[in-house]
Amino acid sequence: MIDHSTLLRVAAQQPPVPELGDDCISWALEPSGIFSVKTTYSLLAEPLWSMEEPIWRLVWQWRRPQRIQIFLWLVAHEKLLTNSLRVSRHLAVSGLCDFCSSTVETILHVLRDCPSTRSAWYRLVPMNIRGRFFLEPLKPWLILNPGSRDEKWATLFGVACWLFWGWRNKGLFKQDFVRPRDEVQATRATTHNFEHARDLWSNTTQPRREWRWIQWRRPPPR
Ligand SMILES: [Zn+2]
């Protein structure tokens, strides 16, 4: 037996009209009917995240070095390969922090709460946000900082997170790596260098984009 809703769907189908020509395959998500990866991605990704969430706008509007912007994007997606994530992917047996061994190594622990980074933050964080800085969960914490109206702080925050993560990994995986003796001073210096480079770039009269044609050349005959 066919149920009522199926009957209605069948009844709503237009019968073939020979004058309209043969049937053809058409991609329903594009007005042109031509397949596109963009619409397929939107269809698959839409239930997972929303562009309306302020976190994504903040990350993409954070116009500082792109490598740090992408790093912040990974943080916002909770994709940093911390021990907690490694355990969930069966890549490690312990999710504890490698440095303090006191708790599970989450993103917030690595970037903010581990004693190895917390002492540096105490010297970096402005007084007016210090209360919330050490209390917020991950996403509100990101909104508080890259979203800050204080441009200098927003830059310093991103650079500090990126450096702390890099130093941590180098300390674990590079035998000869030595963590800077004064991490706060090293963070401020790196931030200053990025800002200086950005100012130079914004003042230059050179065109920012250059087109070059690249092609394969056939090797000479032997
Ligand atoms: Zn720790």
Predicted pLDDT at 7: 86
Q: How far is the CA of 41 from the centre of ligand 1 (A)?
A: 37
**Model confidence pLDDT, tens digit, residues 9-53:** 888 887 778 877 888 888 888 888 888 888 888 777 766 655 556
pLDDT at 83: 92
Tens-digit pLDDT profile for residues 116-135:
899 999 999 888 888 888 88
Report how far ligand 1's centroid is from the alpha carbon of 168 (Å): 10
What's the rounded mean pLDDT across residues 206-218? Answer: 78
Pairwise pLDDT comparison (197 vs 167), residue with the higher score? 167
Residue 170: count other Cβ atoms within 10 Å of its Cβ.
14
The string of pLDDT tens digits covering residues 61-102 is 776 788 888 898 889 888 899 999 999 999 988 889 988 888
Query: What pLDDT is stored for residue 186 in this prediction?
Result: 94
Question: Residue 178: left (phi > 0), alpha (psi -120 to 50), or beta?
Answer: beta
Q: Which two tokens stand for residue 137?
A: 């969960």
98 vs 148, which has greater pLDDT? 98
The predicted pLDDT at position 33 comes to: 85
Segment 153-176, tens digit of pLDDT: 888 999 999 999 999 999 888 888
Q: Note the pLDDT of residue 207.
A: 64
Are 70 and 59 spatial neighbours (Cβ–Cβ below 8 Å)? no
What confidence score (pLDDT) does residue 49 get? Answer: 56
The pLDDT value given to residue 206: 65
- pLDDT-derived band at 182, boundaries 50, 70, 90: very high
Rounded to the nearest 5 degrees, what angle is found at the Cα of 161, between the Cα atoms of 159 and 162? 65
Q: Ligand 1 mean position to 106 CA, how many Å?
A: 9
Domain residue limits, the chain: 54-203
How far, in Å, is the centroid of ligand 1 from the Cα of 118? 10
- Give me ligand 1 centre to Cα 83, in Å: 11
Cβ–Cβ under 8 Å, residues 106 and 96? no
Q: Ligand 1 centre from 151 Cα, in Å?
A: 29
172 φψ region: left (φ > 0), alpha (ψ -120 to 50), beta (else): alpha
pLDDT value at residue 205? 66
Distance 60 CA to ligand 1 centre (A): 29
